[in-house]
Amino acid sequence: MNISRNDNRLYQALTLPNGLRVLLVADSDSQKAAAALTVNAGHFDDPWHRQGLAHFVEHLLFLGTEKYPESGEFHDFISRHGGSSNAWTGTEHSCYYFDITKQFFQPALERFSQLFIAPLFNDGEIEKERNAIDAEFKLKIKDDGRRIYQAHKETVNPKHPFAKFSVGSLDTLSDAHGPIKQELETFFAEHYQAQWMTLVLCGPYTLAQLKGWAEHLFADINSNTTAKPEIAEPLYRAQDLGLELHIEPHKHLQKLIISFAMPSIDKFYKHKTVSFLAHLLGYEGEGSLHSLLKNQGWINALSAGGGINGSNFKDFNISLALTDDGIEYYQDIVEMVFAYIALIRQNIAQLHALYRDKQTLLQIAFDNQEKARLLDWVSGLSVNMHHYPSEHYLNGDYLMAGYEPQQFAKVLDWLSPKNMRLVLIHPGVSSSKTTQWYNTPYYTKALEPQWLDALAAIDTPLGTMSLPEVNPYLQRPCVLHELESPSATPEKLASHPGFNFWFKQDATYRVAKGHFYLAIDSHLAVKDVQHMALTRLFADLFIDCVAEQFYPAELAGLNYHLSSHQGGLTLHTAGLSSSQLELAQGLLDALFNADICAKRYAEYKKQLVRHWQSSNQNKPVSEIFSRIGAEIMPWNPTPEALAQALKSTSYLQFKQFRQEFFAAVHIEAFLHGNWRPADAYDFLRLIQTHLEQRANIEAINRPLAEITSVIQQQLSLPSNDHAMVIYYQATTHDFEEKVLMMVINHLLNQPYFNALRTEQQLGYLVGAGYAPFNSRAGLAFYVQSPNVSGKELLEHHNQFISQYCQQAAQMDEQTWEHSKQSLYRQIAEKDKNLRLRSQRFWLAISNPGVDFTLQANLLNTLENIEFEQVLQYLNELFAPQRPRMEWLSDPQGSTQAQT
């Protein structure tokens, strides 16, 4: 098995007698353990008369087994012991996964294995979860991703399983044609077979221990020798290609997707031929397709290579975000795409050097992998096991075995006009035809044969088109520096009026990477809502302005981003440390000096206003949280307020704003990673050269509004759903109150979900969470429901809180200590990688009163908390007179909204 040089875990792949393929991972450094099981069964396997059945099975497996019959017992066990669990259903695979504190892995595995051996499919749970599926469907009924996806489904071969409705609803899962229970049991028996499953077990145990658990607990999963039937039908028939599909979105969206039909590309994984082609077409440097189309004023963004894929199909998409002009010239855009394809075709024999660049980068990325979130990593591995042989489980995504011109030419031949579909997503689609389930207006028409012939005849690129150059950012060697007395926490290398520079050489993760943060505070950024909007606009325009110049850096594994914070802007660069100083220098020069033209200002202003105006449509919980945030943090206005303020600004105002923004600033900078002190001083001098002519100000403290009474709001929103959000704010900044809020959230968030979501079926979106604003602790409760009014949701919430306070008083000492230790382990969890450690340090540096001991203080406070204090605070927090925000919403025009 090919393992990264930065990976100290031990691996063993094996196959159980029942055919279950298993990967064991011994990770001695991990404080948690995790498991993931992926089965080669998804919504493609739904019976045509029971669409959504695979998704329904996924929900029900968690709701009781013969050995552990209590509904929700698995989720409760995982939650009580510091873990989390989830699952998803895809087209041809479904994945189940959990993590947990390491001491409880074996009993968790006992429960997990039973999901796939003897689920109950209890009648009562079937009825409740059918409503949950329907609520999930209705929650996304105006989601443009789902709406566009459905239009795609209705314009392919209707006999291909992709045409099926994947989510399910009360209609498709009803008992109208007989009880569904038997069909659920039959689906499970037919498709949840061990030989079609993969399992990953990871934790701080020996491989022998993990092997014993796998063999003992998962051997009873049913199996047979049957091969998974292949899909016989093609995704597209002849009449489904050479087609133009127009779709109307719910939100404002203008997009062109040039889609080419391919067979399955799994066999190309060793050479990454298709992704290499996507790399060439998606290039954004000078002379690229992106650059030429953007300079024409036709597009704002371009990406290549995405699209649906499966065991017998792949859509190769070139996706373009269109401007208002671009939607009028979409045929010209298509013709330019084929001209660029002609350029690639002319150079098939000369692409070795560009392939080597991509190959080098993937090898560097593989060798410098950082540990990801354990839950995500094991679930991803279990899916990879379905696509790669065991020797490539770990590096299959990174493997580039060599450039194959003949294979590349074969793939390029699939990018032909008659193998193409054009998808245009834009407002104002005039059609009486709408999709099933999501009511999306759409229509199709055949592309003119003469135009297709003309496209096929394009064999000469435009003179301004060029392929990427060999990447300059990959020419510098990637060296892991020797340690030079690194400190435990960041040290301040410079402290002057208006400027602080912090540095720490990484001694923990030992990867050739690093992170550089630079925060710029300016009083102008928060002068009023208009200036707050201009700050956000400038951040977007800056990224747009430098995208072409620094695209090679992105390809070389370097990332950069400029974002707004309350009080100014933050520049963040990350990735390979060898070339980051060069990148930072270029970005800072551009930040202070680059010209932003009026044309791009007008385009981005328009797009940002549209985005803000539609940001929370159909998401009443999100809209309420946005309003609560704006009330508590005055420098964080609602999207609607930002849109209104930005509308009235001019280009001249923007130019003046930019000039004045940098006239007087405070800068806080932090460098962390694979750098030596001498490198840090190079960064320091770079920043100082840009500060010489600027006035200094003190760091800006962010205002916080305190909740001093019970604030009740009733909203009428343009959504089909009702919602409730309750927010409690801590009365102090004290550690004790922070920890008490964390404790209460830890104790009740799973019971809250179980009661209001699983038992009472109030809605699909239900939760409680610790929610601090500007470092002040807070606790939030939220429910979004398709059927229950805001007022009724509040009544259900209050009833739960009342009952919970009574039950909490009866909690025994053992249960309390168990929960306390679970939270302790959660807070004490080590940072998995350099990125998370950098974020933790930066959070401390960028907040008032730099404190690198936050984690230790929280743990120390928690250790000294007694249950009597928790009970007292619980009763104080939920007392009727306790200051809080209660926001309710109902759909516009509903009876509840009018009362």
Can you give the residue ranges of every domain in the chain?
10-218, 238-351+403-467, 491-696, 710-898
Provide the phi-psi class of 594: left if phi over 0, else alpha when psi is between -120 and 50, else beta: beta
Cα 303 to Cα 63, 257, 600, 734, 829: the distances in Å are 41, 10, 19, 48, 37
Average pLDDT on 323-343 reads 97
Average pLDDT on 700-727 reads 95
How far apart are alpha carbons 783 and 794 in whole angstroms? 9
Span of 30-44, 303-317, 360-374, 583-597 with lowest mean pLDDT: 360-374
The tens digit of pLDDT for each residue in 822-850 reads: 999 999 989 999 999 999 999 999 988 78
Instruction: Specify whether the CB–CB gap between 8 and 16 falls below 8 A.
Output: no
**Is the per-residue pLDDT at 285 higher than 70?**
yes
Edge-to-edge strand list for the sheet holding 94-101:
10-15, 21-26, 197-203, 32-39, 94-101, 84-89
The dihedral over CA atoms of 222, 226, 230, 233, expressed in degrees to the nearest 10, equals -100
How far apart are alpha carbons 391 and 348 in whole angstroms? 30
pTM of the model: 0.91
Strand partners, 886: 712, 726
Kindly write down the DSSP assignment for every residue of 356-403, as one continuous string. Answer: HHHHHHHHHHHHT-----HHHHHHHHHHHTTTS-GGGTTTTTT-----
Contacts of 857 by beta carbon, 8 Å cutoff, 6+ apart:
735, 851
CATH code for the domain defined by 491-696: 3.30.830.10
**Is the per-residue pLDDT at 221 higher than 80?**
yes
CA atoms within 13 A on the CB side of 333: 31
How far apart are alpha carbons 874 and 868 in whole angstroms? 10
**Is the per-residue pLDDT at 896 higher than 80?**
no
Instruction: Specify whether the CB–CB gap between 897 and 890 falls below 8 A.
Output: yes
Q: What percent of the chain has pLDDT over 90?
A: 90
Which pLDDT band, with edges at 50, 70 and 90, does 618 fall under? low
How far apart are alpha carbons 438 and 447 in whole angstroms? 26
Which regions of 60-128 does DSSP assign to beta strands (E)?
84-89, 94-101
Which pLDDT band, with edges at 50, 70 and 90, does 899 fall under? very low
* Position with higher pLDDT, 485 vs 54: 54
How far apart are alpha carbons 717 and 638 in whole angstroms? 15
How far apart are alpha carbons 167 and 175 in whole angstroms? 17
How far apart are alpha carbons 442 and 248 in whole angstroms? 6
How far apart are alpha carbons 510 and 482 in whole angstroms? 10
CATH superfamily of this structure's domain 238-351+403-467: Metalloenzyme, LuxS/M16 peptidase-like (3.30.830.10)
Average pLDDT on 415-432 reads 95
**Is the per-residue pLDDT at 883 higher than 80?**
yes
Q: Looking at residue 615, what is its pLDDT?
A: 82
Residues for the chain: how many in total?
Answer: 899
Q: Looking at residue 32, what is its pLDDT?
A: 94
Q: Looking at residue 898, what is its pLDDT?
A: 46
The tens digit of pLDDT for each residue in 567-595 reads: 999 999 999 999 999 999 999 999 999 99
Q: Looking at residue 511, what is its pLDDT?
A: 93
How far apart are alpha carbons 543 and 377 in whole angstroms? 30
Average pLDDT over the chain, rounded to an integer:
95
Q: Looking at residue 897, what is its pLDDT?
A: 54
As assigned by CATH, the class of the 10-218 domain is alpha beta
Average pLDDT on 758-783 reads 95
The tens digit of pLDDT for each residue in 133-173 reads: 999 999 899 999 999 999 999 999 999 999 999 999 999 99
- Residue 849: CB atoms within 10 Å: 7
Cα 464 to Cα 286, 289, 339, 447, 888: the distances in Å are 9, 10, 11, 28, 57
Indicate if 491-696 has the same CATH topology as 10-218. Answer: yes
Return the closest-CA partner of residue 257 out of 418, 420, 410, 419. Answer: 420
How far apart are alpha carbons 146 and 163 in whole angstroms? 13
Strand partners, 521: 568, 666
The tens digit of pLDDT for each residue in 851-877 reads: 899 999 999 999 999 999 999 999 999
Structural fold of domain 710-898? Cytochrome Bc1 Complex; Chain A, domain 1 (3.30.830)
The tens digit of pLDDT for each residue in 663-683 reads: 999 999 999 999 999 999 999
The tens digit of pLDDT for each residue in 373-419 reads: 999 999 999 999 999 999 999 999 999 999 999 999 999 999 999 99
Please give the structure tokens belonging to residue 524.
């102008």
Which pLDDT band, with edges at 50, 70 and 90, does 693 fall under? confident
- Residue 589: CB atoms within 10 Å: 14
